[in-house]
Amino acid sequence: HFGALVRAIVFQQLAGAAANAIHGRLRALVPGALTPESLLALTDEELRGAGLSGSKAASLRDLSAKVLDGTVALGGSGIADEEVVARLVTVRGIGRWTAEMFLMFELRRLDVWPVDDLGVRQGYGLVWGIDPPPGASRLEPLGDRFRPYRSVAARYCWEAVAIARRADTALR
């Protein structure tokens, strides 16, 4: 799970190819498993040499420190979703959206409703004929009917957007 959070920080606000290259160079600096200890052992110069900005390097150091001091529990077992989010957002560079994606895709939690995700909002609008798509505050209560499987509903919303894009492309 630590590696997934590192990857999320590295990939933020970067094009895929650039992010992949930077992440690859970072991984090449660490023989074996990427751990908080191995990441903290890297110098700022090594991190910058891999292509990380000073801000991202600081975020990775903060993540490492918070994993080691127990603020961020990587396994998350026995910890409620909102507690996992609350702990993760204390890390520099990790916001609610990143924390929710971590819950869904790393911890495989089934009842996450990422209302700040544009794809979920657009997909919900497509499926239920809401134009313009609902904003986050309007979408929040609309997810209640999918409990305890809101993560599944979110994935269907994303798929609705993908299907609409494919259809739009086919019509051109």
Any idea which residues carry the catalytic annotation? 117
Q: Which of 118, 115, 82, 111 is nearest to 99 (CA)?
A: 82
Q: First-to-last CA distance in the chain?
A: 41
Backbone φ, ψ for residue 111 (5° rounding): -120, 55
- The stretches of the chain forming alpha helices (DSSP H) are 2-11, 16-29, 36-40, 44-49, 54-68, 81-88, 96-101, 118-128, 136-142, 150-171
**Tokens read off for 89:** 């957002």
Q: Which of 138, 142, 144, 158 is nearest to 111 (CA)?
A: 144
Other residues' Cβ atoms within 10 Å of the Cβ of residue 147? 11
19-to-6, 55, 70, 107 alpha-carbon distances in Å: 12, 15, 28, 23
